[in-house]
Amino acid sequence: MDRTIDDPVEASENDWRSKLTPEQFRITREGGTERAFTGAYWNHKGDGMYRCICCGAELFRSDRKFDSGTGWPSFWEGVKPEAIRTIQDVSHGMVRTEIRCAQCDSHLGHVFQDSPTPTGLRYCVNSASLDFDDKT
């Protein structure tokens, strides 16, 4: 089911814990980060759609994915602007732009303005925050 911005997902901490693995919960609900070069999708080459692991919202198309050399899945554009919200992150002694799923507020990763792609953006995403649908 495709969700829209007008159909937000809300769940309790216990609901999220029962749905997600401990690693997925740590990353998506607590703002964690997986180690570089360890996630399922950092080097994934499939053709399809990357969705939010928590709510299933469409986030990124595979044809917008590129190898940034960072060890995390990197995309130069989201599926649509309203699918991903951004907030300023001042943790760890730096200023970054955090990206979250607009439907369920799951932490996805960060976006940087350092990409050689058409948009100049690098959405650096944790694999644990994503699910992948192959094109069939």
Catalytic residues: 124
Query: In angstroms, rounded to a whole number, what is the distance separating the alpha carbons of residues 90 and 117?
Result: 26
In this structure, which amino acid lies at residue 10? Answer: E
**Pairing between strand 84-89 and 65-66?**
unpaired
Query: In angstroms, rounded to a whole number, what is the distance separating the alpha carbons of residues 136 and 129?
Result: 22
